[in-house]
Amino acid sequence: MTRTGNRAPAVAVRGVGKRYSGVSVLRDVDLDIAPGEVHSLVGENGAGKSTLLKILGGAIRADTGSLHFDGAPVSVGNPRDAIAHGVSLISQEGALVPVLSVLENVFLARWANRLGFRQARADRRRFDELIEFTGFDVDPRERVDRLPIGTQQQVEILRSLGRGARVLALDEPTAVLAEHEKANLLELIRRLSANGTTVILVSHFLDEVLGVADRVTVLRDGSLVLSDDVANHTPGSLVRHMVGREVDMLYPEPAPVPPDAPVRLSASGLRRGLVHDVDLTVRAGEILGIAGLVGSGRTETLRLLFGADKAVDGVIEVDGTTITSMSPRRSMSAGVALVPESRKEQGLVMARSVQDNVALASLGERRRGPFVHRAAERTAVDNVSRAVDIRVARKDAPVETLSGGNQQKALFAKWLLRSPRVLLIDEPTRGVDVAAKAQIHHLITGLAAEGMAVICVSSEIEELLGLSHRVLVLRHGRAVGDFPRGTPREVVIAAAFGDEGEIT
């Protein structure tokens, strides 16, 4: 604990409120965060966590209330103001300049002012210090758009620290990280806090919150319902405050796959890029999990199965029919759907409504003649949106105004509407709150029980083990293990790591 009774809070929020087109998304929030504290912010999707962080980081302005940093009232109208006060926000969306190098991004503000050889050398030295402190492994010359998302986030953290941030606000930083990267980040957060940096952490992983934070605040429907020491809480008590009721967070037991269930999809000798010779089979009613480290070929394998990328070698069969030269069009007409990893780049049209997005994927089927059956379409979209519990104030609101978790649910709904026979899902619950997550798990298990074949990729080993009948482990693009339900977590992790060293 780093709370010091008589020092002014590093951050104090007083009576903060925010509305969007008449809808209140934050109401009269009062919050104190002590210097050097790790303060976690939790709540359901759409509760207002990101909105509060954006207000602190100057990305948006509150309609009412005031902010105080280190005891002094401040006016934060834009990110520059916040940074000048030592407050740095690392948002869910990311904020790097894609075409610039890591080093340029880290020292962007300064380079804009004075460019020069000596400055560049000083920056390089400072960069090396930051790398030493954080333990990150990032090449300063690499262009940031070539980096995996986890590394891009490290660049943002380096940039914040380079600016001497005293308050670091992180919006779901671990959602995009693999298990060992998560552990490293949490360790860094502890170290920053020990050095006096205040850390505000938004996360849907309650174990993580309870493990790293000193205090926790719960938002529900835009109101603060609790601000307390984490020592007084368990995941269950936090969920009760978040949702206002008990939630069963246990994984549903999947229905057994009948021994004579037909093979829905099989692949053999699948190869392209880093994917080597992958064989897999999934039967009707079966949920196959795919585990592996970042770079093990999980996403690539799904993309090959769907035909989003063309395999250079290998055979894919759907319902016993070999599909030569798999393409998204062919796989869709064979009843295969892929829910991709990135909702922004591959999944959703951000400027269009949920209705449009969800309907988009199945428009072709429903279109009879030149007219789309609007009413039928709306009913179908309503049903599937309810099934995944999309919470949106107005149906015609563009997807970009939805909270992160609700965007994820919209992406899922879009593909469910096609009622696929084989569902390929990449990170089904990334950014989804615990209650909605349990709901999605029940939904997937239910679909499988009705005969859908499911292949699911996730960075969360718990999710894979909880959800799947079998877990296939990939390492360096090769299948290195196929484990039945009930296999201990450590065994799966060990297979994913191989002999590459430490397991965290």
Under the rule (CB under 6 A), what is the footprint of ligand ATP?
20, 25, 43, 45-51, 393, 401-406, 433
| Strand ranges, E, within 221-327 | 223-229, 263-272, 275-283, 287-291, 313-318, 321-322
By CB under 5 A, which span of 50-58, 242-250, 466-474, 481-489 interacts with Mg ion? 50-58
Q: Among ligand ATP, Mg ion, none, what does residue 401 contact (CB within 5–8 Å per kind)?
A: ligand ATP
Q: Which is nearer to Mg ion, 200 or 424 (CB)?
A: 200
Rounded to whole angstroms, the Cα distance separating 62 from 152 reads: 29
Residue 132 to residues 92, 136, 138, 153, 348: CA-CA distances in angstroms?
26, 7, 11, 17, 39
Q: Which is nearer to Mg ion, 50 or 362 (CB)?
A: 50
Q: Which is nearer to Mg ion, 173 or 314 (CB)?
A: 173
> What are the tokens at 395?
């149906």
Q: How far is the CB of 51 from ligand ATP (least distance, A)?
A: 3
Amino acid letter for position 3: R
Q: How far is the CB of 483 from ligand ATP (least distance, A)?
A: 31
Q: Which is nearer to Mg ion, 89 or 239 (CB)?
A: 89
Size of the site for Mg ion (CB under 5 A): 2
Q: How far is the CB of 27 from Mg ion (least distance, A)?
A: 17
Out of 404, 428, 466, 477, the only residue in the binding site for Mg ion (CB under 5 A) is 404
Site membership for Mg ion, residue 50 (CB under 5 A): yes
Residue 139 to residues 99, 109, 110, 116, 143: CA-CA distances in angstroms?
15, 20, 20, 21, 9
Q: How far is the CB of 75 from ligand ATP (least distance, A)?
A: 21
Q: How far is the CB of 85 from Mg ion (least distance, A)?
A: 22
Alpha helices, H only, 22-164: 49-56, 79-84, 102-106, 108-113, 117-134, 149-162
Q: Which is nearer to Mg ion, 347 or 404 (CB)?
A: 404
Q: Among Mg ion, ligand ATP, none, what does residue 47 contact (CB within 5–8 Å per kind)?
A: ligand ATP
Q: Which is nearer to Mg ion, 406 or 445 (CB)?
A: 406
Angle, helices 404-416 vs 374-388, to 10°: value is: 120
Are the C-beta atoms of 377 and 426 separated by less than 8 Å? no
Q: How far is the CB of 199 from ligand ATP (least distance, A)?
A: 17
Compute the C-alpha angle 225/227/233, nearest 5°: 100
Rounded to whole angstroms, the Cα distance separating 404 from 350 reads: 12
Are the C-beta atoms of 471 and 289 separated by less than 8 Å? yes
**Per-residue binding letters, 348-387, with Mg ion (x by CB under 5 A):** ----------------------------------------
Contact footprint for Mg ion (CB under 5 A): 50, 404
